Each structure stands twice: as structure tokens, then as C-alpha cells.
Amino acid sequence: MSPLLKIRAERDQMSAIERRIADFILDNAHLLRDYSSQQLADALQISQSSVVKFSQKLGFKGYPDLKYGIGESIAHHRAQESTAPRTAADPFAASAEALWRRKQEAESETRLINPPAQIRAVAAALTAATQVFVTGLGEDAPQAQALALRLALLDIRASCPGDAFVVSAALSGAARNDVLLVLCEHGRQPALAQLGRELRARGGKLVSVTRHSANPLRSQADLALLVSAHDERAHVEPLLYRAALQHLLDVLYLELCETRRDALARLQANAERLRRLLES
Amino acid sequence: MSPLLKIRAERDQMSAIERRIADFILDNAHLLRDYSSQQLADALQISQSSVVKFSQKLGFKGYPDLKYGIGESIAHHRAQESTAPRTAADPFAASAEALWRRKQEAESETRLINPPAQIRAVAAALTAATQVFVTGLGEDAPQAQALALRLALLDIRASCPGDAFVVSAALSGAARNDVLLVLCEHGRQPALAQLGRELRARGGKLVSVTRHSANPLRSQADLALLVSAHDERAHVEPLLYRAALQHLLDVLYLELCETRRDALARLQANAERLRRLLES
DNA sequence: CCGGTCGGTCAATAAATTATTCTTGACACC
DNA sequence: GGTGTCAAGAATAATTTATTGACCGACCGG
């Protein structure tokens, strides 16, 4: 039980002096940090030994232990309060925090609409592929690039060609089982849809990552991952979309790390190599 | 800032013995309650005075005060965890959720160590700049690219040259007030530090975005933004780092959106143009 | 290469805080 | 009234913490 609660609970069965100590602590818990047993005793005009005995009677090893317990107690209390809807001091900090919360919602929703089995299936397809192409346009491009880098570090043959034409060229050499992973927020870009058709014609697998609303790319895909992110402010929604997409891809990556044989060892070796390269 | 976080932040700039103390505390925070400074010293085979000096150096009144702070810190931590909703049906879903939580922590910490004033200052510098260069290597490269795109949509003249040599060439035309924004996790890449020097020599401003531990790039920068992200699993830490970095940059972006004149209108016009381009 | 300085560490010790012991007085019960 | 119990305080012992001064090694400018 929390020390503060314990003190309050036992307060009624205490002697007069003990009760004075209890009251002081309950009222001034936050000041206790700077009080020695002697100072506390002085403040209450009682003897130092009474303070120590009070502590021991409550089950603490001694006065410093009581103090430690009270400290924990108020920190715990504060933490719980701070979890509740907060009133941010700075308007700026407030909007930063609001953004943070909205992102969490988007990430949660995204997690819920992608069943674990689906993510596992995508991971399996990536593992089975001889070659993986990742592509995305506009804001999705950097994400695609980052994902390709991650996959490469896991010794998955992944590339992220600069533009759609290059992808198309690369696809001409694609074999069965190869995977094209397309990031496309609205799933409506004709160029990407076209790439998907080319790949499927050659027996490859198309994995789409789009918003959860119905769209051409998604309906064409062998495997579809979905992202949910909504905000009435046009400048905020892309931030939510990216965070949710990021999280989805992170979870996929985590799955790959945890299920591929030797993944972590290889990852470490590759990362080490990359680090040396960059620092040279 | 939480004492534990503070210790972790300063760990890198500590002497060998101090680092041993820091590690012990970080690993055994929950045991500290029963350790006197002498016992802690014995456990580490060092002198008791080193423990006391360690405490004072970190800004505590003394060892008991440090202990008190750590106690608060872990109580706070525990409280936050216990408030969190528990839904661990699938082991896979559980690890996805754990990742999610860890990201939130990293983002929160990152938000706390970057005072609003600092972010405003960076936003102001970006607004005032004639030209903005964004750069990053390895995993930071896609982030840099995405940020440059975002800034460009706000009508800030921003570019993200492909490699350091190109940046260097671009810098030769840089004027006073231009800004170089460098994303560099550990702040230790000589090439980027060199770019910073070149720019500053021409009167430009260097903004660094690095981990919160001390590093050459950060100490050289006019304005420094900091990222906090920690995990014992080597394959998870980069995910946290990226999420926290992303959030920091998002907050910066939000600040720009909300303070620049006509920002939203321009953004909308530019986004529309980009959309048409991609769908054609 | 050499003195000088500085930061870090430790042993010794001073200072403080805490815990115990012992005494006293109040109160209840026999 | 005698006696046991118990809370409280004073004195003091024990422990813990903080400071001091000496030493060592790294670094630096001459």
C-alpha cells in the first residue's frame, strides 16, 4: 500500500504526537525531500527520536526509508494525474502534444485493421522473394527508400529505383516469386498500377500499402496492407499518415527480424559495415 | 528531467568510474533503495567519495538526494506502465504493441529535451533563410529528403542534395543567413562536420539534429535539436530513433505551418499541383 | 623532453544524520 | 499505594554522508 494511504489509514489509532507527525507529512509531503529527521522534529517542536520511532512503527527501516517511500508515493500520484487529460502550459507545447496523441490514434487504428496473419503473410512473401522492389512517389518516396535500406540490411535483395521507368526496366528481368511493394497513399496513380500489372504478368507478387479506403491498386494486389489516418486539418493529415505508415512498416520489419534465421547477426554485421563506410 | 534520463544522457561524457556508477544505477535502480553510498561503492570497488561526487555532479544535493530522485523516477515509470492498457492476445500483436509503447516513450523524452523556444528558434531561422540545405547519411537520408520536400511545399527554398559532395558544391554559393540542417544520429561523421564548417565560414547557420549525447557536430552548431531513443535491442533502437526524430521534425513543421503567413494556403496550392503531376 | 596544470580518484577525517538506550512521567489496573 | 505499561525526550552511540588534502596520470605549451 502507498505510504501516504497507510499513514492516513492508521492516523486515527495514533498518539497525539504521532498524529501531528502524520498530519505534517500528509500536508507537506512535497517538502519532505529537504527535511532531515531533526528538522522535521524542530518544525513540530518534538524530539528527533519520535520521528524515527514513527517511521519504524509504520514498518519502514528508518526515517530515510520513510522519506524514500513518500517520494515514490507522490511521484506515483503525479504520474497518474499526468496521464489524465493535461492542460499544457505553453500553447505550442499543447499543439505538439495534440499532434502526438493524434498520431497514436492513427497508429492504433492502423494496427487494428491489419490482422497479424496479413503482416506475417507479407513477411513470408518478402522472405521467399528472390528480389524485392520497393517504390513510392512523392511523399512516399523517402519511406520506400528507407524500407529498402532496412530490408537490404537483413540480406533481403531489395532495391528502390528512383522512378517508375527504372522500376519498369528492372521488372523486365523479374522472375516468379519476386515482390513489388508499392507505397501509394490513395492507390490511384496509374503509373504504379501499370507496374503492378507488368509484374503480375510475369508471375511476381504485388503488395500494396495504401489507405484503407477502396482503391484500384489495392484491389489488384496479392497482398494489401492498410493505413488509417484522418484529420480535418489538411496540413496535419499527412503527418499522421506517415507516422501510421511508418509504424506499419516497422512492425513488418520487426516480424522479419524476429522470424528470419540469423537475422539479427546479419543485421549487426551489415550495420557495422555501413557504419565504417560512413565514418571513413 | 527524470534523473534516470539525465544519467543516460550524460553517460557518454563521463569518466570511466562515473560511467560504471551510471551503468550500475541504470541496471539496478530498484535495488538502490537499500544501498548506502558506501555499499554502492563496495559493490563497484570504488571509493565512497566517488559516489558522492557523482551525485553532486549530476546536480543533486548529495547521495541521499540522488537516491530520492531515482526513487521518484522509477515510481513514475511504474505508474505510467500500470496505467497503460494491456491487450496482449497474440504474441505478435504484443510485440507490435510493445514497440508502439517504446516509440511513445522515445517521442515523449525527445519532446521534453527540446524546449519550445529552441524549436521556435529553428523555425525562425528557416523562415529567415534565403536557402535551406537539408542533408543526412544512411538511414537519415530519406528523412532529410522528406523534410526538404515538406519545406518546399511551404515555399521555403529547400533542397536535399544527394550526397555530401553535391552539398559542398551547393554551399559555395551560399549566402549569409542560409541554413544547413544536418541530420546525423551520432553527430560523428567527419564529412558532415566539414560541411558545417564550410557553411559557417560563409556566414550561414548550422542546425544540427543528433542524439542528445555530446558530439562534435552538435557542439559546432548554431542551433541544436536533440533526439532521445534507447533500447537494449540493437534492431529496435533505430526504429525508436527514427520515430522520435520524425516527431521532432513534425513538430517543427507544425510550428512553421502555424506561424508562417499564408502557409496553409500556399501548402494547399502546392500539394494540389503535386497531386496533378503524379496522377497524370 | 620537461615542468605545470588540471581533472579524477582515494584515504582519512570531519560533519551530519540517524538509531538506540535510558530515564522520566502519565495513566491504568490491581 | 504499588506496579506495569507506554509514550516521549535527552543523551549518546552508530552509521552515513560530505569534505579535505594528497596523489596520479593525461594533456599542453614551451
Q: What is the pLDDT of residue B147?
A: 93
Residues of A in contact with B65 (CB under 8 A): 33
Spatial neighbors of A219 by CB under 8 A, at least 6 apart, are: none
Q: Which three cell numbers stand for residue A42?
A: 524542530
pLDDT, residue B247, reads 94
CB pairs under 8 A between A and B: 163
Q: Do A254 and B95 touch (CB under 8 A)?
A: yes
Of the candidates B64, B67, B138, the beta carbon closest to that of A278 is on B138
Q: What is the pLDDT of residue A269?
A: 82
**Percentage helix, strand, coil, to 5, in chain A?**
65, 10, 25
Per-position pLDDT tens, chain B of length 280? 788 888 888 888 888 888 888 999 998 888 999 999 899 898 889 999 999 999 998 889 999 999 999 999 988 888 777 665 555 567 777 888 889 989 999 999 899 889 888 899 999 999 888 889 999 888 898 999 999 998 988 888 888 877 667 777 776 766 677 888 999 888 877 777 777 777 777 778 889 999 988 787 888 888 899 999 989 888 899 999 999 999 999 999 999 888 877 767 777 787 777 767 665 5
CA distances from A227 to A39, A221, B32, B112, B117 (A): 60, 15, 45, 29, 34
Whole-number percent of chain A with pLDDT over 70: 91
Q: How far apart are CA A52 and CA A62, in angstroms?
A: 6
B111/A97 touch (CB, cutoff 8 Å), yes or no: yes
Q: Which nucleotide is nearest to A65 (CA to C1')?
A: C18
Q: How many CB atoms lie within 10 A of CB A165?
A: 11
* Cross-chain residue pair B116–A90, CB shorter than 8 Å: yes
Task: Report the protein residue whose CA lies nearest the C1' of nucleotide D8.
Answer: A50
* Closest-CA residue to B119 (of B242, B260, B226): B226
* Percent of chain A scoring above 90 in pLDDT: 24
- Report which secondary-structure segment, H or E, holds A241: helix A237-259
Q: Which residue intervals of chain B are DSSP H helices?
A: 3-10, 16-28, 37-44, 48-57, 63-83, 91-113, 116-128, 140-153, 164-171, 190-201, 216-220, 237-259, 263-279
> CB of residue B59 closer than 7 A to nucleic acid strand D?
no
Strand C CB shell (< 7 Å): A 36-39, 48-49, 52-53, 55-56, 61-65, 67; B 15-18, 45-50, 53
pLDDT at A176 over 80: no
A44 pLDDT tier (thresholds 50, 70, 90): confident
From the candidates A72, A83, A118, A279, which should be mutated to test the interface with B, based on the most B CB atoms within 10 A?
Answer: A72
Q: How far apart are CA A77 and CA B190, in angstroms?
A: 47
Q: How far is CA B138 from the centre of its chain?
A: 17
- CA–CA dist A82, B74 (Å, integer): 15
Nucleotide nearest to A21 (CA to C1'): D8
List the domains of chain B with CATH numbers.
Answer: 3-85 (1.10.10.10), 116-279 (3.40.50.10490)
Q: Averaged over A68-87, what is the pLDDT? A: 77
Per the structure block, which three cell numbers stand in for B210?
Answer: 543528433
Nearest to B219 by CA among B7, B59, B12, B71: B12
Q: Report the pLDDT value the prediction gives residue A147, as an integer from 0 to 100.
A: 92
Please calculate the CA angle B189-B195-B198 and round it to the nearest 5 degrees. 145
- Chain B: closest CA distance from residue A103 (Å): 9
Residue B52 has a pLDDT of 93
pLDDT of residue B93: 78
Q: Are A187 and A212 spatial neighbours (Cβ–Cβ below 8 Å)?
A: no
Residue A86 has pLDDT above 60, yes or no: no
pLDDT of residue A123: 92
Return the pLDDT at A70. Answer: 92
Among B67, B76, B146, beta carbon nearest to A68 = B67
Predicted local confidence at residue A174, as pLDDT = 63
Q: What is the pLDDT of residues A119-141, one digit of tens each?
A: 999 999 998 888 898 998 888 88
**In this predicted structure, what is the pLDDT of residue A85?**
53
Query: Are the Cβ atoms of A92 and B189 closer than 8 angstroms?
Result: no
Which residues of chain A does B142 touch, with a Cβ-Cβ cutoff of 8 Å? Answer: 142-143, 145-146, 149
Interface touch B116/A145, C-beta < 8 Å: no
pLDDT in tens, A178-235: 888 999 888 877 777 788 777 777 778 889 999 988 888 888 888 999 999 989 888 8
Q: Is A104 within 8 Å of A229 (Cβ atoms)?
A: no
Is any atom of nucleic acid chain D found less than 7 Å from the CB of residue B15?
A: no
Residues A267, B149: C-beta atoms closer than 8 Å: no
